[in-house]
Structure 1
């Protein structure tokens, strides 16, 4: 890249979240003429308020909820167990702080190139920090992340309305709570709170939870969620009364009283005051510019967009990839298009939920074959009293190339990775059935689903089994 002394820096990175830090790592491999601007608080969304604290809470909740199965295992005394909510939350914060400290160490050695302050873009090459200091750069990377969305009506509840930014800071939790929104994170938190023994009522304006589209997988998730909480689906929840003590929440003819509300109605790009209007690009109704999904470039500018500020792929591994893509293109004379990884999204409920590859489409023609398995009678799942949920697979009917999957199943996070890898390698159903499956394992359920799918693929091979090898025994192991 040609140096341009007229600019203070080659690259300015706005935001020190997962995408910004990934961009930082990539930029540092090529130039030291960069700066990272972040307004704080320190730590990524994932480490501070997202992936990690939510999973810490879920682990405690799932462990405590297992007590309901002790009698079936022949284990007595489960009624003596209790959840010390303040202790649970204290561990969440302690471990969370450990993860955050690791993230902060990433920028500890940047010195003056780590700038604390609020950035505002003045033009495609100029950024103002806290309304005082002006910095110029050949390229900008916008990685400002996202923030929780709380509908205006619910803001009247003050500190009685929680978000994932405030939930983990609580020293205790009330006995009754309403969860508004059952996207992936809302679904996780609703189940975690219910499994810890809170009285949870969860509302969702849609009939599909956790971003699922497949009706059979969605039905399995609803059945699982309904076993530990009250669900109100398909109608917008509304705040009906608040007297300082009880909060009345309703949907349609249903109404209930709670002590607090968790607003899990999604996150919005953190772009307020960023000055996107000064880039000279058209902005949509949400105030966002059009982004090239393969180059992450904004218009024809040397400005790039990465991470959760892009609401379509708000996942850590996607944010990391986007930081790398944005950095590579910010340092190039001409932006290049990058192929994206196989889509993979996991919701860590029990059973866990995942969507992999091509999403389910109710309007599919006979060009797509569908197969599946119900885990109710799967051997290893029954042995562990985890025998609930379904897995659905989608393949090209002509030839059997695996295209996608959705699941609500035991060990679903692991099954999802196997499926994502298979889709990335463009494996066919027949090829996957040639892989070894141990007994007894949950993955045998995947084999059952593959066999079912194979029956709907044009000209499928016979189910593979042991086959002859006429070469040397060593060659047969290859």
Structure 2
């Protein structure tokens, strides 16, 4: 059988695959980019971008309800055309997908962009629907798909995942969201604000991946005002007339549809990795180095959502670049990964930066916090709910991490991530400028609280300006 020979084969044209291509293409190495299924990244098609379009529509409509405080009359009579709203989201989604494709695979020849599903025949040999491709290095960037329990398939299109949600022509009257992580919370709150009768379920006692007990408590209280949250029990689904009954513990609701938001599963099943001599661990993943993206000592690299480690676009970008660099280099190079940052775009934002609460040594770590209730800018905005918690090493005063639920958390999280990457201390952060009145003043207050608990102080009072030498 004829074989096509290349230096590098990239499997998957999503974010990680395209970023890997960005390193492979200018290297002068021969390559192919292989993609099975829909083109366009997970972010553009079913993830970050359509969900943010939905969130924006929901937030704008929700804010109309408070116009009465400014003397606006008739705001209570405002209605929403849900078909028009979901159509707007789909139009934006299509725009984002088209942009991705037009800037990537649209102009690639059939010689280098191959559509079809790849599987391993040997460690360096792939089969793509009958076409054999022999590659010296192979990058797996096949992404992930939503988890769907097999028994739920019997309920047909009444069970939605994010892969189907943004294809709906209209919104259901009622919806149960099972799984209250990032996607479940964002979609649940948005649809509730657009008029859907939403009920949330999660077998954990927390939501949004929070493990700081104070932030988790605040989040449950705040988000629970948009739609009821039933926590601590696994959910079961049964059919009742033409609807679905969702039961968890002693709670039960009858709904038109269910959103299964149970996480995502790496797309490794059909690659036949055993033919490449790659063993999968108990978690269904091969052992790989997150600083090189190399699987063991093989010529195969793993990048993006497919590794299940940090399923975020900016992380997929970094991992794609690392994999692409190492796949085109004579020597494997390890790279320092950036501080973790995760943002849940519910209102108010839920954010995690750096070390999580569960990762901290409580004997050597101190915590500072501020409640958003008295913060002037937040009060003016009508968004003075939430809490910011920041963590530092007690002895050195070095900032370690943060969890928060607060308005404009998406901005504060970036500031803190940048500071953690620079190994700054709490005292050094407080010597930076803070404008008035801004939400950053809330962060300043949390840092002041934290500064009073660390041992390492600045050489001069933090309220004093630095002298000029």
Fold-level match, TM-score > 0.5? yes
Query: 2: distance between equivalents of 1:453 and 1:123?
Result: 56
Pairing 1:385–2:374 present: no
1:475 matched to which residue of 2?
none
2:119 matched to which residue of 1?
120
Query: 2: distance between equivalents of 1:348 and 1:191?
Result: 10
- Say if 2:10 and 2:33, in contact at 8 Å, map to a contact too: yes
- Say if 2:350 and 2:406, in contact at 8 Å, map to a contact too: yes
- Say if 2:124 and 2:276, in contact at 8 Å, map to a contact too: no
- Say if 2:267 and 2:306, in contact at 8 Å, map to a contact too: yes
1:438 matched to which residue of 2?
435
Closer/same/farther in 2, CA of residues 331 and 470 from structure 1, 3 Å limit? closer
* Superposed displacement of residue 246, structure 1: 1.4
Query: 1: distance between equivalents of 2:33 and 2:319?
Result: 16
1:133 matched to which residue of 2?
131
Alignment partner of 1:314 out of 294, 297, 311: 311
Alignment partner of 2:344 out of 344, 347, 353: 347
* Superposed displacement of residue 72, structure 1: 3.2
Deviations 1:391-446 (A, max 9, x none): 10000101211010011001000000000000010111111101111110100001
Deviations 1:327-382 (A, max 9, x none): 11111222111110111100000000110001112873331110011001101000
1:81 matched to which residue of 2?
78
1:99 matched to which residue of 2?
96
Query: 1: distance between equivalents of 2:468 and 2:413?
Result: 36
2:457 matched to which residue of 1?
460
Which residues of 2 match residues 58-77 of structure 1 at below 5 A? 58-77=55-74
- Say if 1:451 and 1:463, in contact at 8 Å, map to a contact too: no
Query: 2: distance between equivalents of 1:138 and 1:88?
Result: 49
- Say if 1:381 and 1:387, in contact at 8 Å, map to a contact too: yes
* Superposed displacement of residue 73, structure 1: 3.6
Which residues of 2 match residues 235-274 of structure 1 at below 5 A? 235-243=233-241, 245-274=242-271
Deviations 1:296-355 (A, max 9, x none): 111111100000001121000000000000011111222111110111100000000110
Tell me the SS of whatever aligns to 1:241.
strand
Query: 2: distance between equivalents of 1:300 and 1:424?
Result: 30
- TM-score of the superposition, structure 1-length normalised? 0.94
Alignment partner of 2:291 out of 291, 294, 313: 294
Query: 1: distance between equivalents of 2:371 and 2:28?
Result: 53
- Say if 1:153 and 1:239, in contact at 8 Å, map to a contact too: no
Tell me the SS of whatever aligns to 1:312.
coil
Pairing 1:55–2:52 present: yes
* Superposed displacement of residue 101, structure 1: 0.9
Closer/same/farther in 2, CA of residues 290 and 80 from structure 1, 3 Å limit? same
- Say if 1:157 and 1:242, in contact at 8 Å, map to a contact too: no
Tell me the SS of whatever aligns to 1:207.
coil
1:166 matched to which residue of 2?
164
- Say if 1:433 and 1:463, in contact at 8 Å, map to a contact too: no
2:189 matched to which residue of 1?
191
Tell me the SS of whatever aligns to 2:282.
coil
Query: 2: distance between equivalents of 1:231 and 1:34?
Result: 49
Query: 2: distance between equivalents of 1:464 and 1:71?
Result: 43
* Superposed displacement of residue 201, structure 1: 0.5
Deviations 1:157-182 (A, max 9, x none): 10011110110111101111000101
2:392 matched to which residue of 1?
395
Query: 2: distance between equivalents of 1:449 and 1:470?
Result: 29
Query: 2: distance between equivalents of 1:470 and 1:108?
Result: 56
Compare 69-78 and 370-379 and name the one that shifted more: 69-78
1:149 matched to which residue of 2?
147
Query: 2: distance between equivalents of 1:242 and 1:316?
Result: 40
Query: 2: distance between equivalents of 1:349 and 1:378?
Result: 20
Query: 1: distance between equivalents of 2:316 and 2:153?
Result: 29
Query: 2: distance between equivalents of 1:470 and 1:241?
Result: 74
**Structure 1, unaligned runs of 5 or more:** 1-5, 472-478
State how many pairs are aligned: 464
Query: 2: distance between equivalents of 1:81 and 1:465?
Result: 49
Tell me the SS of whatever aligns to 1:75.
coil
Which residues of 2 match residues 323-362 of structure 1 at below 5 A? 323-361=320-358
Query: 2: distance between equivalents of 1:330 and 1:470?
Result: 49
Query: 2: distance between equivalents of 1:10 and 1:365?
Result: 49
1:476 matched to which residue of 2?
none
Deviations 1:110-130 (A, max 9, x none): 202000001011122100001
Query: 1: distance between equivalents of 2:303 and 2:290?
Result: 10
